Structure 1
Amino acid sequence: MAGSTVTFMLDFIDTAALRLDSSDLPSSFDERGSGSVLLNISRMEKIERRSASGCTEAFRIAIIDFLAGTLGGVATVLIGQPLDTVKVKMQTFPKLYSSTRTCLQETFRHDGIIRGLYAGTSPALVANISENAMLFGAYGVCQTVVKTMVGKRVAEDLSTAENAISGGLAAIFSSLTLCPTELVKCKLQALRETSGKKPTVTMTAMYRSIYRKDGFRGFYRGIGATVAREVPGYFAFFGGYEGCRQCFATYYKCHKADIGILGTAISGGVAGACIWLVIFPADVVKSRLQVLDNKTTSSTLQHLYYYVLFQLANSMLRSEGIGAFYYGLTPTLIRTLPATSILFLVVEFTKNILV
């Protein structure tokens, strides 16, 4: 019996050795209990040990960032969708909804939870999964580019400003995946107000309707406003996140990768507040432009997109004042603090396991 146990242990060790390369092994072992071994290694140590690897490892890290963003996007939607619906309604129909509470009550009373507060969840899931997967995947790649340009060894050594630049560059790519899905989400969320009927249209039907009416170009209605919103927004987003992480790292006298759950959650909340305070006016214009039917503008102006964008913003300023650009900010901030905290917790947890 003892001999067979020893043989099994040796086979197990041989198998494990084949699956691990030397960079995965820690410099020291912490033995506890009856011969068990704990690999006492921080995420930062793993990052540093893998930094010398070539293109294959860089591709693997990009896939991990992509997967982490995907899981983070799912968590964000499940938590924040009701308040996102309220935000879109208040942005688009400020005269109908004077407060967050009124909008919540009226939406629940007329449309219920699923077709009301969770209207647009399917496209929101598609939007957030595609956006965050692309965003975090591109962010890692952009960090690598910036890291190479400034001559630093690992991305974790980048300054707050350098990370912010990486985030702004990554937002260009995420905008291309976000615009079509967010267009459908906004239309579904505002369906009752624009059609006067109880919302029964599915995501697939809405995609078909847009394509029949405007073709492929119709899915990118609002792309200019989306890019104008996303680039400075994610500059502030990742700048706020990395800056807050650095503050925690300085306070705890550790590396940013090792600040723990509370530090990561607070940093994520700060990032969410930063992005929405910067992008909210552009987001209001984008939401209205996407929800408004094409017949609300002349056929000539439909071909002059940026003129239409400027005309809409100017019209809002003249008729409703500067406050029009901040309708829906309250539910957005209430939603974004827990949502972005969860987003970064899921992202960092996933990366910590897989890196």
Structure 2
Amino acid sequence: MSLETIEYQMDNLKHLKSGFIDFCAGSLGGVAVVYVGQPLDTVKVKMQTFPAMYRGMADCFMKTLKNEGFSKGLYAGTIPAVVANVAENSVLFAAYGGCQKAIANITGKESVAELNTFGNASAGFFAAFFSSLTLCPTELIKCRLQAMREVQLTQTIKTQRIGPWNLTRQIVRANGIAGLFRGLSSTIAREMPGYFFFFGGYEATRELLAKPGQKRDDIGWQKTMVAGAVGGTVLWLVIFPADVVKSRIQVQNLKEPALQIMKNIVRNEGITALYNGLKPTLIRTIPATATLFVAYEYTKKILTSLMNV
């Protein structure tokens, strides 16, 4: 076996290990996000899809707690939320690592560490396409479970509350596998520009917080949390109107194109309706994304050390 062949195989093994590490680190980060932020995510979805039922974030939170309880109300949809976040973040961060390497090669950089903020943001933009494909079905189930009580209140025929697996079977039986991908186009339209700003904001903040001569990876967990919170805040400020449209498509089973639904919301409810649920989202985002990046970065460091990558 030639030296070139051995080097090629070693390089492939290194890439496989790096992809596995990003996948595992993203998965653990996804689990952390759900348990930190699920109650306020439930409030967000309810306010987005049935804004007339609530006077604001506190009213929605207290009514949900009173009428549905803590676990079945505020933590409704936790299982599909965990699946959604693990699926999204494992694929997102694995694809992000791969896209970083691709952009580094295209731009002539020797390593990912040399990428500037725009290069990292672009990697996030392309990585989000792949994560959207895994996120859409699981988030559809999560959103419908979270707003199930509100949907039933608007129906003349009351139906029994069901769990994630029965709901999934019900959707597939009625609409086929394609029914699980309702809202895919609005999910992609939300995710790709959103994650451009998400990773751009995160990497730019890490760069600003690093001391002269210090690597971004060595800024410590406190500054990593600050950078994660900035990235998450920028993400939601940019994508929130698209997220409102996606939630309505998925929860209310709307068939019109996403752009038409957005126009209808503005015409019938005013432009502020596109920001219903923004307050609980931003409050949730700060601890959730801070936790996400700490879990991701430190899991990645530990696994990289253990696997000698």
Quick one: which of 200, 204, 207 aligns to 1:239? 200
Larger Rg: 1
Question: What letter corresponds to residue 253 of structure 2 in structure 1?
Answer: D
Question: Where do 4+ consecutive residues of structure 1 move more than 2 Å?
Answer: 196-200
Aligned 1:38-77 pairs, distance under 5 A: 54-77=11-34
For 1:34-183, list aligned pairs within 5 A.
54-183=11-140
Percent of residue pairs identical: 51
Cα offset, 1:195, TM superposition: 1.2
Q: Is the Cα–Cα contact under 8 Å of residues 192 and 198 in structure 1 kept in the other structure?
A: no
Whether the 8 Å CA contact 1:252–1:259 is kept in 2: the answer is: no
Could you say if the C-alpha distance between residues 343 and 198 of structure 1 is closer, same or farther in structure 2, counting changes exceeding 3 Å?
farther
1:91-115 Cα deviation digits (max 9, x unpaired) = 0011111211000000000000111
Match of 1:260 in 2: 220
2 CA distance for matches of 1:282 and 1:324? 12
2:281 corresponding residue in structure 1: 332
CA distance in 2, matches of 1:199, 1:158: 53
Query: Which structure 1 segments of 5+ residues have no match?
Result: 1-52, 295-301
> CA offset at residue 293 of structure 1?
3.4
Deviation at 1:200, TM superposition (A): 2.9
- CA drift of 1:199 comes to 6.9
SS at structure 2 position matched to 1:54: helix
User: What is the alpha-carbon distance in structure 2 between the residues aligned to residue 280 and residue 207 of structure 1?
Assistant: 26
Distance 2:253 2:290 in 1: 35
**Secondary structure of 2:51's match?**
coil
For 2:274, the aligned partner's letter is: F
- The separation in 2 between residues aligned to 1:180 and 1:275, in whole angstroms, is 21
TM-score of the two chains, using structure 2 as the length reference: 0.92
8 Å CA contact 1:192–1:199 kept in 2: the answer is no
Shift of 1:58: 0.9
1:211 partnered with 2:160: no
Tell me, yes or no, if structure 1 residue 287 matches structure 2 residue 287.
Answer: no
Give the superposition deviation at 1:311.
Answer: 2.1
Q: Which residue of 2 aligns with 1:226?
A: 187
> Any gaps of 5 or more consecutive residues in structure 2?
1-9, 305-309
- Note the C-alpha offset of 1:157: 1.2
Shift of 1:183: 0.4
Q: Secondary structure at the match of 2:102?
A: helix
1:101/1:199 CA distance change after superposition, 3 Å: farther
TM superposition score normalised by structure 1? 0.80
* Residues in 2 aligned to 1:199 and 1:227: alpha-carbon distance in whole angstroms: 32
Greater relative contact order structure (CA < 8 Å, 6+ sep): 2
Contact 1:111/1:198, CA 8 A, preserved across alignment: no
- Tell me whether 1:316 sits opposite 2:273 in the alignment: no
2:276 alignment partner AA:
Y
> Structure 1 residue 351 and structure 2 residue 300: aligned?
yes
CA contact (8 A) 1:111 1:199 kept: no
- Which sits farther off after the overlay, 192-201 or 344-353? 192-201
Aligned residues: CA RMSD: 1.4
Instruction: Identify the match of residue 273 of structure 1 among 230, 233, 237.
Output: 233
Structure 1 residue 253: Cα displacement: 3.6
Number of the residue aligned with 1:189? 146
AA at the equivalent of 2:203: E
Instruction: Return the alpha-carbon distance in structure 2 between the equivalents of residues 163 and 57 of structure 1.
Output: 21
SS at match of 1:169: helix
User: How far apart, CA to CA, are the structure 1 residues paired with 2:245 and 2:231?
Assistant: 22
Q: In structure 2, give the amino acid aligned to 1:234.
A: Y
* CA distance, structure 2, for counterparts of residue 61 and residue 87 of structure 1: 35
Size of the alignment, in residue pairs?
Answer: 292
Question: How far did residue 278 of structure 1 move?
Answer: 0.6
Partner SS, residue 257 of structure 2: helix
